[in-house]
Amino acid sequence: MAKKATKSTKAPQSSGFAARYGHLLTIDRVIIGGSVLLALILIGVFALNASQNSPVEIEGVVRSVGLARDHQENVTYPNTGLPPVGGTHNPVWMNCGIYDTPVRTDMAVHSLEHGSVWLTYQPDLPAEQVQQLRDLARGKDHVLLSPFPGLKSPVVATAWGLQLELPDTSDSRLAAFVRNYANGPQTPEPGAACSGGFGQPIA
């Protein structure tokens, strides 16, 4: 009489491995997937911060490079109708703030080295525009505002190595320039003060 075939009750080895260690594999996948997701999120955050901290390019800004940074008393500059954007300057800086009379150019250039934006305007600029400039400069510790005799444009914004001529104070590029470059990335001496030097601003 033939023997009756019997089914093996032994599960395949692979099935037993999956039953015993499957939950561990699942945990590993979750950990790996979570790590990848976290890495992607961090990369996105860093990229966003970098884009937000990078100055937006402003149309019309003229750039100068290779500017001297030597200290010298009583420096004179060529009469170009524009403030200098850098170069040799007085050992003492001009205190930032609002002035209603012209300031020492050689000291203002030192302020640029400390990260200031120097806003200059023609002495006969309409009073309402002068007030707009004062409103923009007020409360900012790295903005210097003063009239500039012989200025060839109504308003000029200057930072170290950067300059923007403007037709009036309503130009949106004015506030953008201050936002980008007051103590901005162009600063040769980041973190340097724009106070404790020379001058008594009216505000």
Contacts of 159 (CB under 8 A, 6+ apart): 85, 112, 115, 116, 117, 118, 177, 181, 182, 184, 186
Is 119 in contact with 143 (CB distance < 8 Å)?
yes
The model's pLDDT over 81-103, given as tens digits with 9 standing for 90+, comes to: 999 999 999 999 999 999 999 99
The model's pLDDT over 10-52, given as tens digits with 9 standing for 90+, comes to: 545 555 655 565 565 566 665 676 666 666 665 554 444 444 4
pTM of the model: 0.75
DSSP 120: E
- Fold classification of 62-181 is Glutaredoxin (3.40.30)
Is 155 in contact with 166 (CB distance < 8 Å)?
yes
Q: Specify the pairing of strand 117-121 against strand 62-63.
A: unpaired
Tell me, what amino acid is at 52?
Q
Place of tokens 């060839």: 152
